[in-house]
């Protein structure tokens, strides 16, 4: 399809598509001459992902890191989640991993690589919450972790098994874009649980 058709199919203006192309968020189309190019269904899928990432508050630089990871498909299913983890935006990257987080994971019996960016994110997020007066005792963190296992089980069971490139796309998009779904469900569940109490 032409860039005008890609715009119509995605709902993203042509000027924005040209910006994505310049910024490397969207690979170039197949050239049909000096000023024309042909775009595929893969381009449409990529545009929708980039748009959703940006709408979810991911910066252009972070979105580029995510799409670069997608352009280099994983070699194995085992490589898949690692690749996605390390491509995704990770807040508090500069926060050292706390002994508390290391101990929590050991108590949970979780097998996680020592370089996982989420170890820093978790350490930093716990410190930020406590500094604002949210105490987060060990039993609360353990309760949240067990609930997160149930979330991750749903995540992992919904990764497609057909091809690795599709699976990586799904994991990356699903991780970033399901966070707001979970945040909304948590607020509704709070209202429900407190109405029962």
**Region 148-187 residues binding a copy of itself, contact defined as CB under 8 A:** 148-158, 169-171, 173-175, 177-187
Residue among 33, 23, 24, 29 at smallest CA distance from 5: 29
| DSSP summary character for residue 25 | S
**Region 55-94 residues binding a copy of itself, contact defined as CB under 8 A:** 55-57, 78, 80-82, 85, 88, 90-91
CB of 189 to a copy of itself, least distance (A): 4
**Region 121-140 residues binding a copy of itself, contact defined as CB under 8 A:** 121-122, 125-126, 128-129, 131-137, 140
Contacts of 30 (CB under 8 A, 6+ apart): 37, 38, 39, 40
Binding span for a copy of itself by CB under 8 A among 15-23, 25-33, 59-67, 102-110: 102-110
Closer residue to a copy of itself (CB): 24 or 91: 91
Closer residue to a copy of itself (CB): 62 or 155: 155
Contacts of 170 (CB under 8 A, 6+ apart): 158, 159, 160
């Amino acid at each position: 399809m032409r860039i005008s058709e890609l715009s119509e199919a995605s709902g993203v203006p042509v000027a924005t598509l040209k910006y994505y192309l310049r910024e490397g968020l969207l690979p170039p189309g197949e050239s049909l001459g000096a000023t024309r190019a042909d775009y595929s269904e893969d381009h449409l899928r990529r545009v929708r992902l980039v748009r959703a990432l940006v709408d979810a508050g991911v910066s252009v630089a972070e979105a580029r890191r995510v799409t670069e990871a997608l352009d280099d498909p994983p070699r194995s299913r085992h490589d898949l989640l690692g690749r996605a983890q390390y491509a995704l935006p990770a807040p508090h990257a500069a926060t050292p991993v706390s002994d508390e987080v290391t101990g929590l994971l050991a108590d949970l019996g979780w097998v996680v690589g020592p370089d996982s960016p989420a170890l820093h994110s978790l350490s930093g997020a716990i410190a930020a919450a406590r500094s604002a007066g949210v105490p987060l005792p060990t039993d609360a963190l353990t309760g949240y972790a067990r609930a997160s296992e149930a979330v991750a089980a749903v995540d992992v069971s919904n990764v497609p098994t057909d091809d690795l490139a599709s699976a990586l796309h799904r994991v990356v998009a699903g991780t970033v874009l399901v966070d707001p779904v979970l945040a909304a469900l948590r607020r509704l569940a709070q209202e429900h649980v407190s109405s029962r109490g």
